[in-house]
Structure 1
Amino acid sequence: MIPFDPRGLVNRALLVGVSEYDHTEPPHGVPGDLPAVKHNLNRMREVLTGGQVFGEQDVKVLPSPYLADFGQVLQRSARQAEGLLLVYFAGHGAIPSGADELYLQMRDARVIAGRHTVFHGAEKIGDLLATVLATSAARRIVVVLDCCFAGNAAPVREHFDDKRRVLLLMSVQANHRIDAGDARTPTPFTAELAALLDEDRDATLSDLADRLGERMAALGLRTLRDDPWEPQLRTDLGVDVLLRSGAAGRGRPVPAPVPVPGPHDPLPGPPGPDPVPRPWLRTVLSGASARLRGVCATLMGLVRSVLPPRPSWRTVFRVVLPAAVVTGLLGLGLFRLGLVGGDDTVCVPPLELRVLTDPDLEPTVRAAADAYLTSDRNITDDGCRRTGVTVYSAGSSDVVGALRGQSGAWREPPDGDVNPQRDIGPQPDIWIPASRADVDRVEDGQDTDADASLEADEEPLAYSPVVLAVPQNIASEALEERTGLSLDEMIGDLTARDANATVRRPDPEFTDVGLLATVGLYGEGGHAVARGERLVAQPGSPSPTAADLLCTLPDDDAVDNSTAALVPEFLLRSGVGCDPTTRSPRLAQYPEDVPGVEPVFVRVRWRGGDRDEAARDASAEGFRAWLTGEQEGGQVFARDGFRSADDQKLLDDEQVAEGVLREPAPLDESAGRDAMARALDAYQDAGGPGRVLFLLDSSGSMAGLWEGPSGGPGLLRQSLGGLGGRDEYGVWTVAGDDPAHATLLPLGPHARADAERAVGTGARVRDAEADPHAALLAALDEMRERGDDRPQLIVHITDGEDNDRLTGDRLDDVLAAARTSGVPVTVVSLQSGGCDRDRPDRRIADASDGRCLDADDDLGAALHDEVARTGTGEG
């Protein structure tokens, strides 16, 4: 492997170190300043400018930038670089609860819990990579991350078509935090990296990564989870780059760089005629001719495997020719990498099937594909493989949307924002969704001139119910509480046993498991959206997959021990990729109204994809036949804890996971197309702009609870951070009898500063009693009349002194209206015990599927979170 040598080209290095943060206090601040990072920048600049690749003018140092400033400088550096672009970041890194993305926190970073963006003032690693890829002509892009959770950047890189240009060096493995070390020296990772770069030798990135791991292991460095601290490198096979030339190279002429085609370079013309080979070379070439013929066949197989059925010329130039160059350079090496069958038969690479599946199914489908590749059914008499299989996954709603309305863009991406090849992956030959309803949703709304057609098997490959996996310490072992109940009833029983119990589900837009769970949460007809969302409310975004959810919960023992998870039953057998010794043992409960997972085999045909149609059909049918075989693919599903699609019995009834029932009954029927589509639409609407009406008790008894951040107006102003510019909200003051309320701020969109000013200057205590009965009925009527698809919420802030006017028929009137309105009411009682079970405030909140908060809670944070679940966050 010859590393790319960027010397002599226009190179740029951007060194970003955030040592100082504006917001470090709770509840929204980052963990603290990082004084060691100041030393990182000086040290990295010193070692990079001393090694012929970067000159003094090529290195830009950016200490503690704000997010906007970082973006501008990054784009400028990306545009200027032609050879090598190096982007280095040191500072705080953060991940959402699902660990699906890494955020690099700049000087203005804040962490605000809510449904949408949690990390303000932070750069998402996917956006950073998109920026440098889109704006830079650099032939190699090196990104070095020295922060907590740096390894979580690795999966993001895999989603980019042009990822071969990007080399990613990460200070630590995924889902791990690290110590910044002594404030007087660079951070541990950067200290070792700089020491290696400062040695008198040529330093390539791969060599640095190898030696970094050895040095850090020798030092005994460990992460904050007390695991070995292991730097990570992600590059494509055979890709490397020179970062610094050692002292031995100083004073020598700079060699011409290795010619690596840039993304916008014209293709080189054909070479001139070679001289007549000398006799010894002619002999070598003659003896290698058979091998070279095999290499040529290999190259053609590789071309077929990476291209869609009808490639554009752009794809040919950007994908095929670089592959051809690499293959030609490797030449005989490819022959020696195992492309042979029995008796030294040269094997032509098999036709490659592209298999797209649901993210929660990917481990099982990948295991099945791996087993198929080496099975007798896939091996010829010569010992060669008949078919290759590439398995990948993508968000379920994205796949359904692309097959339904973007198949043309998938086959031939336009120059625009819609590009399924980039956002999902290559055109699939086979699709294995987690529910047949996905196929029905595609076909129901598919374009009449769609470029993709689906042929789905009638029977699913297997079955797995979606269960409520309850921590054993708060679970009931009574059979009547584990089966035969609705999901709503099960959650009610759970919270009755443990008031601190919570429930979480994976992202309904990313995986079918989350959407199937949502069908049960919203109830028959999908009408209980607000209640369903409140049952699974959580800080931050939901985990992208069920496996991620089960892997994230153990990060906090208290959360793990009190949180039930809506996940497919098979995960209780096959497990997830995190330490099982830290996970709370769980019992599975089987809600009768939540459809199960039913993976189905779907052959996808593409318009114009008839170049190798017969061979591709044969390969797809061979894989399907093996996958549906009871003793073949069925064994993989059995090993992973699936059930039979016919009778819903465990495929492996001998090795039953702890906490799983052998024959739970009844189990819900298959998911319906309309139910899943309705649940997804409702979930997406619930995440849109919201509407909140605040009722602020301004009666005379509130005088002692009025001033300061914990007073009524102060709490209201704090909660406005959960609302954005697209949300509608208003404020009524409640005092007196006729009328029972006055409008302080009309319902509508507002700038936050204007709303805070209106509350701060206009809210006054009156010498009158409040009538909560009349005010609440008027508020419920107001929100009902405005009823649309927006999430809605009523917030009643009161000291409860006038609750003697909420008794008897008057209380019954409010409870009846609350039950039928569909609008949750959050009652904020400023007195201790205001939310005891029989108090009017608690009963009104419960009747409306809302929440009651009292002086025993952290009212500021709790009310902010309640409002943020309805609103879109600061905007």
Structure 2
Amino acid sequence: MSRFDPRGRVNRALVVGVSEYDHTAPDPQGVTGQLPAVRHNRTGLEDALHRGAVFGAGEVRVLASPTPDDFTGALRRACREARGLLLLYFAGHAVTSTSGNELHLQMRTARVLTGHGLPGSVSFSQVLGELAESRAEQVVVMLDCCYAGNAAGIWHRFDDPKRKKHKILLLMSVQPNRCILGGDADAPTPFTREVAHVLGAGGEVWLSGLYGAVKKRMAEAKYKAEDNDPQRPQALAPPWDSDDVLLAAGPLNPPVPVDGPGPSRWSARLRRALGAARKALGRLGRTGPAAVLVLLATGAAGYGLMVLIDDPAPCRPPLELRVLTDPDLEPAMRAAADAYLGSDANTTGDGCRHGGVTVYSAGASGVVTALGKRTDAWQQPREDDNPQRDIGPQPDVWIPGSRADVRRVTAAQEDRVFARLEPDTGPFAYSPVVLAVPEGLDGAVERTGRTLSQLVTGLVKAPGEAEVRRPDPESADAALLATVGLYGDGADAATAERLIARPGRPEPSAVGLLCSLPDTDAVDDRSAALVPEFLLRSGVGCHPATRAPRTAVYPEDVPGLEPTFVRVRWEDGDRDAGARDEEVDRFRSWLTGDEGRGVLGEQGFRSAGGERRLLDAEAAPRGLLDDVPPADAADPSEMDTALERYGNAHGPGRVLFLLDSSGSMAGLWDGPSGGPGILKQTLPGLGGEDEYGVWAVHGLGGRTHTGLLDFGTHARREAERALDAARVRDAEADPSAALLDALDFMRERAAADERPQLIVYLTDGEDDNRLAGAARDEVVERARTSGVPVVMVTLNSGACDRDRPGTLVAEAGRGRCLDAGDDLVPALRDEVARTGTGEDR
């Protein structure tokens, strides 16, 4: 490494501050106490990073008191997205193992059990593992917690054969084996206070300079750790004379702009400077000498003013607004909040901030449920019901992706409601939900005038290997609105869902989906994505060099995103209601005014009304339409119904395995590549709530199969024992009769719900002569109308060639044909996992 300047790269900062804990003393399993000072740590460091100008809009994410899953999920996301600098900051409780060889960062749910169990914690070794595998070129970790200095020893002991850990540099708040004081509720903790001060002071701040300045300031202030020990920050980094990292490069003293004869641009700054001067002059009589110099200069171009004050009055901590939004909207709302924080609208006459804005997101369906049915638990969290843990702090402002969400909340609210919603009369921006098709595949679909179901079906059936991907409808409104359209042509949910590619868990947001597709070029080139249109402009920062160009296709039956400003008022939350209302109104006026619309235009949004033109049409990226066809507004009941159907289609599944047990299978029976062994390898895709069974297929007359495993729920070991007991029969098989029986059997079970179903028929193909002619046609027609996908698996090559029986049956049932020419076991395992709820889900 040499001197690393990350400006202009894709950077990420993850600021994690755990100020609230679910379990604290006197609970014997609790941590020592709450950490209110960490609230100031979060806001102070976030502000300093923004002012430092190394991290751009949307590149700083703050996690307030996360759970371990929230933390690790956000860490993985930051590791995946960062290409330049990745900065991780943690403040909160931490403990070491009894040997001192491990440091455990304690998240919101942390407990300490007898025997040194530490649920709710994340080991620093795990954090190092994630950071070492990140795509960032350089990583800086800042720890403000007890035993922070122990992290250096863990770094040295970390097993790193590929030498990836050397890009990770550490800045620690205290020497090894020392605890620090938790501070109080009025100010940040000492280490973070000094870090934020140095980073936010202006000019270039390199890691070496930051460490030196913070160390000096802490020594001069004589900060103490526990037991009255001096608190000395630590660093683990290469020699500063050759290697360093730039962390801030903000302006020292930005000049006052002079815009011409009109006073509109400079008058606010003039008033601010004069106010500061008046305050300084007023202090002369109270506090003794102070140097105040006011210089006024006039000229043809306008006015300039400089105020030099020896003892400026400190700014009061600004009131912090909590803004909860949809996961897809979070980067755009962060960019807007960043611009607002430094705007004239948010600046007092003394140059201080009126308020701060913390933007965070949570799954849309969870937010709707919490605001509709769980507001009491939000105010008084319980172990089994804790929206503060699952979603975040009680919001002052909610910006959902659709105004329909407000009606979904009010329809769900019960007698005891502790939060009152006050939505604006309409949305402040608009973005259609589009099918973003890679260039080269866009010729297979028309840009407008088609339903989403028609577009997806046409794209999947077009020549090539096109796939359609969608984020999680339970997490983001855009994905749920797309699902409304996907189910809109009368298709059953299970059938419609099989048109969506699902390699593992879906991404929680369209932002994450667009950032993950370029991980593999081939996947990026063949994958159409259901995403909000605005992300085709703003959501590309994570992979600027490798992303496949995409064309927006506009389904006629999918409502668009309509972000709406909603004031949330909480019962007994009126201690500062007047000041909070004032800050909310100020932020709303800015966001919906010219400056806010300008930022939203840069993010790719359209006007909320009229012809819905792009707010920044001059910078419209290639692949978008200037005029978008109108779409109906989202309907709350349709959204709720689609969400329920989606849950059913991805809930506990049903799988019926048909295992050819005729005599010809004798040579393909034993071992992991034999029939029973292959089926055993699919069982991890099935969970305890899935229903499944196994039929042994044999016999030509009367009964065509016998049961190996009764249809129902099973422990995996029970299913494995049944397959181990399977035997080859001295008989032939009738695949057509067995398949007809299986289709009838599964159709009866699907009559009352839309749970995912699958039939798997595994054979050597020896008896395919009985799956021909009229018998084959009957099976194909039954498979086409049953709605149950059929996977035909043949242990010989060529069985999936065009017009072969297995191919025809699988295509009719919207399933898959696999033979020995495929990577058979992983492919079959994936098909079962898509239906079941086991380990692969």
**TM-score band w.r.t. shorter chain:** 0.5 to 0.7
Do the aligned partners of 2:31 and 2:112 also contact (CA within 8 Å) in 1?
no
User: Which of residues 110, 113, 130 in structure 2 aligns to 1:149?
Assistant: 130
1:590 maps to 554
Distance change in 2, residues 1:170/1:819 (3 Å)? farther
Partner in structure 1 of residue 472 of structure 2:
507
Q: 1:582, CA displacement in angstroms?
A: 1.8
> What is the letter of the counterpart of residue 739 of structure 2?
L
The letter of the residue matching 2:829 is: H
Matched, 1:751 2:711: no
Which residue pairs with 1:656 in the alignment?
620
Q: What corresponds to 2:422 in structure 1? A: 455
Q: Return the letter of the residue paired with 1:398.
A: G
* Matches of 1:557 and 1:131, distance apart in 2: 39
Distance 1:854 1:689 in 2: 28
Q: What is the CA–CA distance in structure 1 between the aligned matches of 2:405 and 2:104, rounded to whole Å?
A: 28
SS at 2:504 equivalent: coil
1:11 is aligned to: none
**Which residue identity is paired with 1:673?**
P
Q: Structure 1: how far apart are the matches of 2:481 and 2:104?
A: 28
Give the counterpart letter for 2:333 in structure 1: V
Q: What letter is aligned with 1:393?
A: S
Deviations 1:140-173 (A, max 9, x none): 998354644237999xxxxxxx9977969999xx
1:105-144 to structure 2, matched below 5 A, reads: 129=107, 132=110, 143-144=124-125
Q: Does 1:848 align with 2:829?
A: no
Between the aligned partners of 1:497 and 1:844, the Cα distance in structure 2 is 20
Equivalent residue number for residue 680 of structure 1? 643
**Could you say what secondary structure the match of 1:745 adopts?**
strand
Distance in 1 of aligned mates of 2:151 and 2:549: 33
Contact in 2 for aligned 1:341/1:384 (Cα 8 Å)? no
- CA–CA distance in 2 between the matches of 1:600 and 1:725? 41
Structure 1 unaligned blocks of 5 or more: 1-76, 83-93, 104-124, 155-161, 172-177, 211-229, 243-252, 261-285, 292-339
The reply to whether residue 825 of structure 1 matches residue 795 of structure 2 is no
Is the contact between residue 98 and residue 541 of structure 1 (CA under 8 Å) also seen in structure 2? no
**Contact 2:668–2:675, Cα closer than 8 Å, also in 1:** yes
> In 2, distance between residues paired with 1:419 and 1:99?
24
Question: Contact 1:144/1:169 (CA < 8 Å) preserved in 2?
Answer: no
Distance 2:384 2:179 in 1: 41
Q: Deviations over 1:182-212 (max 9, x none)?
A: 7xxx985499989x9999x9999989xx9xx
**Kept in 1: contact 2:104–2:123 (CA 8 A):** no
Q: Which residue of 1 aligns with 2:376?
A: 408
**2:757 equivalent in structure 1:** 792
Determine the C-alpha separation between the residues in 2 that align with 1:852 and 1:735: 21
Q: Is the 8 A contact 1:96 1:540 kept in 2?
A: no
- Indicate the residue corresponding to 2:448 in structure 1: 483
For residues 376-395 of structure 1, give each alpha carbon's deviation from its aligned partner in whole angstroms, at most 9, with x where no partner exists: 44444454444432222122
Answer whether contact 2:695 2:709 (CA < 8 A) is retained.
Answer: yes
* 2:836 corresponding residue in structure 1: 871
Structure 1 pair 238–504 and aligned structure 2 pair: CA distance change class (3 A): farther
1:569 aligned to which of 512, 525, 533: 533
Residue identity opposite 1:503 in structure 2: V
Deviation of 1:613 after TM superposition, in Å, equals 2.9
- Counterpart in the other structure of 1:180: 160
1:601, distance to aligned residue in structure 2 (A): 1.1
In structure 1, distance between residues paired with 2:570 and 2:466 = 49
**Residue aligning to 2:827:** 862
> Match for 1:355: what amino acid?
V
**1:278-427 equivalences in 2 (<5 Å):** 344=312, 347-414=315-382, 416-427=383-394
Q: Aligned partners of 2:486 and 2:150: how far apart in 1?
A: 42
Report what 1:464 is aligned to: 431
Whole-Å separation in 2 of the counterparts to 1:450 and 1:749: 40
Pair 1:870–1:628, CA change in 2 (3 A): same
The higher-RCO structure (CA 8 Å, 6+ apart) is: 1
Partner SS state of residue 427, structure 1: coil
SS of the counterpart of 1:464?
coil
Question: 2:416, 2:73 → 1: CA distance?
Answer: 40
Letter in 2 for 1:785: E
- SS for the counterpart of 1:654 is helix
3-state SS in 2 of match to 1:617: helix
How many angstroms apart in 1 are the aligned matches of 2:486 and 2:622?
Answer: 26
Pairwise mapping of residues 24-103 of structure 1 onto structure 2 (< 5 A)? 99-100=76-77
- The answer to whether structure 1 residue 545 and structure 2 residue 509 are counterparts is yes
Verify: 1:835 aligned to 2:807, yes or no.
no
Instruction: Note closer, same or farther for the CA distance 1:739–1:477 as it changes in structure 2 (3 Å cut).
Output: closer
Shift of 1:712: 2.3
Tell me which residue corresponds to 1:602.
566
Question: Residue 258 and residue 706 in structure 1: after superposition, are their counterparts in 2 closer, same or farther (change >3 A)?
Answer: same
- Native 8 Å contact 1:795 1:827 kept in 2: yes
SS at match of 1:855: coil
Measure how far apart 1:840 and its partner are.
3.0
8 A Cα contact 1:146 1:190, kept in partner: no
The one-character-per-residue Cα deviations of 1:335-387 (angstroms, maximum 9, x if unpaired) are xxxxx999956654443322111121112112222323343444444544444
Q: How many pairs align?
A: 639
Question: What is the SS of the residue equivalent to 1:580?
Answer: coil
Q: Distance in 1 between matches of 2:133 and 2:285?
A: 46
Q: Is the 8 A contact 2:537 2:621 kept in 1?
A: yes
Per-residue Cα deviation, 1:311-351 (whole angstroms, up to 9, x for no partner):
xxxxxxxxxxxxxxxxxxxxxxxxxxxxx999956654443
Structure-1 residue corresponding to 2:688: 725
8 A contact 2:147–2:175 mirrored in 1: no
Partner residue in 1 for 2:587? 623
Question: Would the aligned equivalents of 1:95 and 1:102 in 2 still touch at CA under 8 Å?
Answer: no
Q: Does 1:579 align with 2:579?
A: no
Distance 1:768 1:790 in 2: 34
CA distance in 1, matches of 2:717, 2:207: 45
> How has the CA–CA distance of structure 1 residues 576 and 874 changed in structure 2, closer, same or farther, with 3 Å as cutoff?
closer
Deviations 1:567-588 (A, max 9, x none): 1111111134413012222222
Q: Distance in 2 between matches of 1:288 and 1:412?
A: 50
> What SS class does the counterpart of residue 582 from structure 1 fall into?
coil
Query: How far, CA to CA, are the matches of 1:827 and 1:589 in structure 2?
Result: 34
1:860 is displaced (CA, Å) by 0.8
Distance 1:848 1:799, change over 3 A: same
Note the C-alpha offset of 1:81: 10
Q: Which runs of 5+ in 2 are unaligned?
A: 1-27, 34-70, 81-102, 136-142, 153-157, 182-189, 196-205, 219-224, 233-281, 288-307
TM-score of the two chains, using structure 2 as the length reference: 0.66
Q: Structure 2: which amino acid aligns with 1:539? A: P
Aligned amino acid, residue 369 of structure 1: A
Structure 2 match to 1:433: 400
Moved more, 365-374 or 421-430: 365-374
Amino acid in the other structure paired with 1:256: N
Alpha-carbon distance between aligned partners in 2 of 1:97 and 1:345, rounded to the nearest angstrom: 38
Note closer, same or farther for the CA distance 1:357–1:805 as it changes in structure 2 (3 Å cut).
same
Instruction: Output the CA distance in 2 between the equivalents of 1:648 and 1:450.
Output: 36
User: 2 CA distance for matches of 1:198 and 1:564?
Assistant: 51
Distance 1:858 1:290, change over 3 A: farther
Say if 2:659 and 2:697, in contact at 8 Å, map to a contact too: yes
Alpha carbons 2:179, 2:226 under 8 Å: kept: no
Q: CA 1:755–1:649 in 2, change beyond 3 Å: closer, same or farther? A: same
1:256 corresponds to which of 228, 248, 251: 228
Q: CA deviation at 1:867?
A: 0.9
CA shift digits 1:490-516 (9 cap, x unpaired):
333333444433222222222222222
1:353–1:389 contact (8 Å) kept in structure 2: yes
